[in-house]
Structure 1
Amino acid sequence: MADAGAVRGLYAITDATLQPADALLERAEAVLRGGAAVLQYRDKSQDTPRRRREAAGLLALCRDYGALFVVNDDVDLALYVGAPAVHLGRDDAGLRQARTVLPSGTLIGVSCYNSLARADTLAAAGADYLAFGRAYPSPTKPDAPPVSRDTLAAAVARYRQPVVAIGGITPENAQPLVSLGVDAVAVISGVFAAASPERAAARLAALYH
């Protein structure tokens, strides 16, 4: 059974466009060596056999490093590999629907974008952590609406669930978000596009030590 308290520190998110498929596990392990506390598998392709192999491999790595493994946007994949956590966005399976099919104790995180009203609804419905973004201009989702520092600070004060900031976060710009009190910073390009994913992860993880 996963604990929402595991959502603290560096929350790294994979992106299939940032490395060849055969380098995914190697680069993910580098990020975990650097200190990522959470690793989310994010792949929007329809290649089910490959996605199952990759998710299973990443889950095994996370177990080795004591990190929380999260599947993005795919309750069926999370069920298939036995992932301890899943992340849902606006267009993904609904929170209540996911609860009916996932094993008891599975963590469910949700995207709240820049909306405290949405977070209120999802927190009341039983979400285990709340992600807000984009914190900075993001190469992954350039059209995503920005979230203000005031909204992030309000979320930190308002919810018992961990609050995660996401969007354009790098080792160079993460400190102001950590200083607001967010429980975790979710990072994609800031680690996986770095020359050394391990060093980038270590710099981000150190902000929480």
Structure 2
Amino acid sequence: MAAKRNISSGVYLVIDPSMEEGLLLKKLKAVLPEEIAAVQIWDNFHKGQNIQDLIEKICAICYLHNIPVLINNQWELLLNTSLDGVHFDVIPENYNEIKQTIKREFISGVTINNDLTVVKLAEMYQMDYLSFCSVFPSVTSNSCELVSFDTIKATRKLTSMPVFLAGGIRPDNIHQLKDLPFEGVAVVSGIMSSTDPAGAVKNYITQLKANKK
């Protein structure tokens, strides 16, 4: 069994599996030589889609660069695919049972907003990372409430777990995050909707590095 991959800092890329497959894989191949922390497959599959086949194609591309691949919510797919882990929108009440069912090490993360009790739960369950949503207003994160910057700052008093920020983040507003404790940003449309996804990633990375100076 391969060693557990780890999520690094930088750009956490969320991809939409309902995108035309050829275009999705082409764009994914274009961005992976860049500094990608992880790839998450949004659980937005269309009817009749060969989900396992698509997941294996995505994993094969990402693993050439040792980039972990996670599924959004549908943890059962870890039982019969090469996925590294799962990102939950909400921590399931039966999380410990899920761990026992999967029977192998896996990466797990959860979306949080202004309720820091979720941070304590994630710590208790020994999850791997947190993702705040939504930092700015966003079309793709319209189900998330806006997160207070004070809430994000308070996380460091509760955990040393890696923190990612999501929702409406663009290269031209990353500077507004300068005083916040975080390891990276989660991006959906800002990269995969671009005609130059590799260039878009480079732009995000450039601004993130500038932000840390």
Q: TM-score range by the shorter chain?
A: 0.7 to 0.9
Matched residue, 2:138: 138
Q: Deviations over 1:94-131 (max 9, x none)?
A: 43232112233211111122221121122212211111
| Structure 2 Cα separation of the partners of residues 123 and 55 of structure 1 | 28
RMSD: 2.3
Whether the aligned pair in 2 keeps the contact of 1:56 and 1:81 (CA below 8 Å) is yes
Matched residue, 2:15: 14
CA displacement at 1:92 relative to structure 2: 5.7
Matched residue, 1:76: 76
Matched residue, 1:55: 55
| Structure 2 Cα separation of the partners of residues 178 and 170 of structure 1 | 13
Secondary structure of 2:60's counterpart equals helix
2:96 equivalent to 1:96: yes
TM-score by length of 1: 0.88
More off after superposition, 176-185 vs 187-196 = 176-185
Q: Which structure has the greater CA radius of gyration?
A: 2
Matched residue, 1:192: 192
Within 5 Å, give how 1:28-43 maps onto structure 2.
Answer: 28-43=28-43
Whether the aligned pair in 2 keeps the contact of 1:133 and 1:167 (CA below 8 Å) is yes
More off after superposition, 106-115 vs 89-98 = 89-98
The 3 A distance-change label for structure 1 pair 91 and 159 is closer
**Bigger helix fraction:** 1
CA displacement at 1:141 relative to structure 2: 2.5
| Structure 1 Cα separation of the partners of residues 24 and 124 of structure 2 | 36
Q: Whose relative contact order is higher, 1 or 2, with alpha carbons under 8 Å and at least 6 apart?
A: 1
The 3 A distance-change label for structure 1 pair 177 and 155 is same
CA displacement at 1:179 relative to structure 2: 4.6
Whether the aligned pair in 1 keeps the contact of 2:79 and 2:102 (CA below 8 Å) is yes
Secondary structure of 1:132's counterpart equals strand
Amino acid at match of 1:151: T
Consecutive unaligned residues in structure 1, runs of 5 or more = none
More off after superposition, 184-193 vs 107-116 = 107-116
| Structure 1 Cα separation of the partners of residues 209 and 97 of structure 2 | 34
Amino acid at match of 1:116: L
Q: How many residues align?
A: 207
Whether the aligned pair in 1 keeps the contact of 2:5 and 2:67 (CA below 8 Å) is no
2:162 equivalent to 1:162: yes
CA displacement at 1:188 relative to structure 2: 0.4
TM-score by length of 2: 0.86
